[in-house]
Amino acid sequence: MGYASPANPSLEKEQEELKMNNQTYFLHNKNDTSWIGSIAAAGAMVGGLIGAPLASMYGRKTALLFNCLPFILGWSLILFANTTWMIISGRLLTGMAGGFASGVVSIYSMEISPIHMRGAVGFCFALMGSVGYALASILGIFLEWRMLAMACGIPSVIMPFLMIFAPETPVYMMSKYGYSKKTITTLQKLRRGENVTSELNEISTQAQNKAPLIVSSEQLTSPIVYKPLLLLMALFLFQQLSGPTAVGFYQTEIFKKSGSSLNPRVCNGIASIPPLITGIISSLLIDKCGRKMLLYTSGVGIISSLSLLSFFFWNNSNASFVQNYGWLALVSLIGFQGFLNFGFNSIPWVLVAEMTPYFAKGFISSICTCFAWFFAFFISKIFNDMVDLLTPHGAYLFFAIMTLVGVLFVKFLIPETNRKTTEEILAHFIGKKVPEDRKLSVFVSNLEP
């Protein structure tokens, strides 16, 4: 997902040189660049919709292995592109694979994790996403757009060979084989010598059948389904309204428009490093401080960074201000990317796996992933229009205000899930404590397909 920001300037420069030399070129206007930047999010919307259901039907591991194919095909289309539509098609396919991974990897991570490490393991998805984004940004300093596409395709070639050694999740094994030797062996391999009896009992209270593509009307009207679904959809909306996709896809362009003398592609590479640092810190704190505290800290940092960026663009028509304070654009975007990955860009994916009952996990994960990437596509596609309508400082101030509303939403409506069992979290949505006779388990099992 970090490809567009460093690649678009390289592509535009190449096409401009071809045009000046009266050679064949295929990038004709800014609208083409806009589609290249935003279409990956539209693909992710489709991939997110089908990812979790396919993982429920065929297994998390099988789904992730299959997902390497659209990655490889998409990067190959970009690498050998001689038309704009080949690049857009490649971005669409790699976006689909990215959205697919958004849903499946977060579920896989949570389901192989013991409860006391659930937050940290679930956070690995966001952390490694930041690693990929940083690699794309740093390599983009040195590689032109075709070679960058080839570099981005390498992990999808390596992954199938490494994934052979990864286990299927115990939760999926329980759903397929029940309380069997295969399920017990899978969990024992993950826990290595620990007593797994209590954890097997916890897993066995979840669905014994494959999660359906959709839930029934009776299930959908249950508070343990519709409440987490609505809360998570709203949380992903606020995530996108904080501007991660719009700012991330066009970060190099933002540096260029700032008027700073710093190299935009170098600035883009520098701004991709702080998310790695904050991601590591957040992964160490998530199971100690809880999910909500990280969201508060992340939100306040995003608001401060976007407000500073808005202030810079409000004054960047002043040549002396830009000359003396051009570094503010870089500082603002470093702060934005760092604080974004501290919570707002990562915690929602953790909560999808934590706040949902097993029988509805595939359905809710698909809806939320699709919803998140729809708004990512929509906001990234209209971002240039927003800048034209509101001016740059107005657009970034809008994102800051929406983030503030999101922090208030987290404060009053999102439950804390840290170190809570699935039963305890679901009990919150029906307004009960977990009873000693485990009637909640009966309530949940009655809704299972």
- CATH code of residue 300: 1.20.1250.20
Asked whether residue 203 is domain-assigned, the answer is: no
Whether residue 157 has pLDDT greater than 50 = yes
Asked whether residue 142 is domain-assigned, the answer is: yes
Query: For residue 260, what pLDDT band results from cuts at 50, 70 and 90?
Result: low
CB-based burial, 415-441: b 16+ in 10 Å, e otherwise: bebbebebbebbbbbeeeebeeeeebb
User: Which conformational region is residue 253 in: left (phi greater than 0), alpha (psi within -120 to 50 degrees), or beta?
Assistant: alpha
Total number of domains in the chain: 1
Asked whether residue 192 is domain-assigned, the answer is: no
Asked whether residue 206 is domain-assigned, the answer is: no
**Structural domain of residue 263, as residue ranges?**
4-166+211-447
Q: Which of 267, 262, 281 has its CA nearest to residue 339?
A: 281
Whether residue 442 has pLDDT greater than 60 = no
Asked whether residue 159 is domain-assigned, the answer is: yes
Do residues 426 and 357 make contact, with C-beta atoms less than 8 angstroms apart? Answer: yes
Do residues 299 and 130 make contact, with C-beta atoms less than 8 angstroms apart? Answer: no
Asked whether residue 372 is domain-assigned, the answer is: yes
Lowest mean pLDDT among 76-85, 219-228, 289-298, 434-443: 434-443
pLDDT digits (tens, 9 = 90+) for 210-259: 455 567 888 889 999 999 999 999 999 999 999 887 787 677 777 777 77
Cβ neighbors of 338 (< 8 A, separation 6 or more) are 274, 275, 277, 278, 301
Q: Which residue has the higher pLDDT, 405 or 381?
A: 405
Whether residue 61 has pLDDT greater than 50 = yes
d(CA 107, CA 362): 9
Q: Rounded to two decimals, what is the model's pTM?
A: 0.76
Asked whether residue 173 is domain-assigned, the answer is: no
Asked whether residue 92 is domain-assigned, the answer is: yes
